[in-house]
Amino acid sequence: MKGYLYVLMLCLMLGVFSVNIQGKVFDKNRKGFIVGLGVGGHSTKLITRFDRVTTSFIDGKFSMVTDGTKSNTESIFGVFSSVKIGYGFTNQFLVYYLRDAAWYSINNTKQASGIMGIGTSYYFKPDSQTFFVSLGLGLGDQTYVDTSTEPRFGSAICVGLGFEFKPRLSLETKFLKNLTKDKDLWNYENEVDSFSMSLNYLWY
What percent of the chain is modeled with pLDDT above 70? Answer: 75
Based on the structure, what is the number of domains in the chain?
A: 1
Q: What is the dihedral of CA 19, 87, 156, 123, to 10 degrees?
A: 90
Question: What type of residue sits at position 168?
Answer: R
Residue 26 lies in a domain: no
* Stronger pLDDT, 128 or 61, i.e. the higher one: 128
Q: Of 47-61, 141-155, 173-187, 190-204, give the lowest mean pLDDT range.
A: 47-61
What local confidence, expressed as pLDDT, does residue 109 receive?
86
| 44 confidence band (pLDDT: 50, 70, 90) | very high
pLDDT in tens, 99-124: 999 999 988 889 999 999 999 999 99
What local confidence, expressed as pLDDT, does residue 27 receive?
76
Residue 27 lies in a domain: no
Neighbouring C-beta atoms of residue 46, cutoff 10 Å: 21
Residue 186 lies in a domain: yes
| 58 confidence band (pLDDT: 50, 70, 90) | low
Q: Which domain holds residue 12?
A: 2-20+33-203
Domain of 123, CATH number, reads: 2.40.160
Residue 146 lies in a domain: yes
Could you give the CA distance from residue 132 to residue 105 in angstroms, rounded to a whole number? 31
Question: What type of residue sits at position 65?
Answer: V
Q: Per-residue pLDDT averaged across 40-46, rounded?
A: 95
Residue 28 lies in a domain: no
Name residue 15's beta-bridge partners: none
Please state the pTM of the whole predicted model: 0.77
Q: If you average pLDDT over every residue of the chain, what do you get?
A: 83
Residue 25 lies in a domain: no
Residue 161 lies in a domain: yes
What local confidence, expressed as pLDDT, does residue 24 receive?
53
Q: Are 196 and 80 within 8 A, CB to CB?
A: yes
Question: What type of residue sits at position 119?
Answer: G
What local confidence, expressed as pLDDT, does residue 107 receive?
81
pLDDT of residue 87 exceeding 90, the answer is yes
Residue 94 lies in a domain: yes
pLDDT in tens, 122-150: 999 999 899 999 999 999 998 888 777 78
Q: Of 29-33, 172-176, 188-192, give the lowest mean pLDDT range.
A: 188-192
Q: How far is CA 196 from CA 44, 101, 107, in A?
A: 8, 10, 22
